[in-house]
Amino acid sequence: MITAADIKRLAKEAGFDLCGITTPEVIPEAKEAYERWLAEQHHGELAYMARDTQRRTDPTRLLPGVRSIICLALNYYHPDSDKIPAGHGRVSKYARGKDYHKVIEKKTRALVALIRKHVTDDGEVDFKWFVDYGPMLERAYAEKAGLGYIGKNSMLINKRFGSWLFLSEIVTSLELTPDDRFAIDHGKCGKCRACLVQCPTEAIVEDGVVDARRCISYLTIERPSAIPDHLADRMGSLIFGCDICQIACPHNNRRSRPTQHPEFAYEQGVGEFVDARRVLRMQTREEFLELTAGTPLTRPKLDGLQRNARIVLKNQKERD
């Protein structure tokens, strides 16, 4: 019978940086926090986040007979350049290479295939896997699996990699020995409030709670309509996503290490900066895809990226 140690060895073979195992019960405090977040409308226009909340908060609804959750992580950190070229907007670290959904999907499929080869019992084993678009409270279960702790900026913070992690999960009927959540001391936020203080739009409204309606990542990627001036004025040169609350974190200052995954190299995607003037010159979907295909920058579509480009150029002009 395959063991938890076997799973972790296979996860490393499939290319994952971290692997932890936990059980599928509801996490009461995570469920309560999520439902309160929705009730306070912090999800903004992300209507899908409010659909079928029971399925999102209870893994036993995702797979009949589930016994274990395998939590996985990839480091995606890239250092930033000191200066932003004139007329360019900065892209969040996670989006500079290939679309991480596709990268993680490929590695997760590979891991499931490896596990199936090593399962020696006669019974049927079931698997379902999820990236961040799936109905899982992924950070809560990763924390429960011992991969880190959830900080005041709501990010999972790991002892080795800080918070620069992509997460995925495999829900399975395999019965595996779960990890001790507290076996590794990942640290804690303590009295530090750097992420709350340095967020330019004050999106972190309380410890561990982010109001998406004010978050620059949400505004530049998910918001379909115009961005209010009082928030746009604080976006600076951020054209897609935001890393400010993570850069502010002392844990990341000590622990960040460049990713070893070639899929996230700049040459695999748009890189650190995008020419805002080029974006504004685009008139067709083909021109848009020439820049963004295979990367997360397809998400806001041409209209959204051009909206962001106009804000970047306006902010740079006012700054200069």
Least confident among 55-64, 87-96, 154-163: 55-64
Same domain for 207 and 309, yes or no, is yes
Domain assignment present for residue 187? The answer is no
Residue 289 identity (one-letter amino acid): L
Q: Are 234 and 200 in contact (CB under 8 A)?
A: yes
Catalytic residue check, 6: no
**pLDDT tens across 183-236, in order?**
999 999 999 999 999 999 999 999 999 999 999 999 999 999 999 999 999 999
* Same domain as 98, residue 214: no
| Range of the structural domain that residue 237 is part of | 194-253+271-319
Q: Is residue 213 domain-shared with residue 140, that is, in the same domain?
A: no
Regarding whether 104 and 165 lie in a shared domain, the answer is yes
Residues 168 and 220 in one domain: no
Same domain, 59 and 199: no
Looking at the chain, the whole-number percentage of residues with pLDDT higher than 90 is 88
33 and 158 together in one domain = yes
Q: What is the pLDDT of residues 33-42, one digit of tens each?
A: 999 999 999 9
Q: Does 63 fall in a domain?
A: yes
156, 242: one domain = no
**134 — pLDDT class (breaks 50, 70, 90):** confident
pLDDT at 123: 64
Number of domains observed in the structure of the chain: 2
Whole-angstrom Cα distance, residue 274 to residue 287? 14
Show the tokens assigned to 148: 């880190």
Please give the pLDDT value at position 308: 98
- Residue 258 in domain: no
How many Å apart are CA 212 and CA 318, to the nearest integer? 26
Report how far residue 223's alpha carbon sits from residue 229's, in angstroms, rounded to the nearest whole number.
14
- Provide the sign of the torsion angle of the four alpha carbons 152, 156, 162, 166, taken in this order: negative
Q: Average pLDDT in the 249-267 region? A: 94
Q: Is the pLDDT of residue 88 over 60?
A: yes
**Catalytic residue among 132, 207, 233, 275, which?**
132
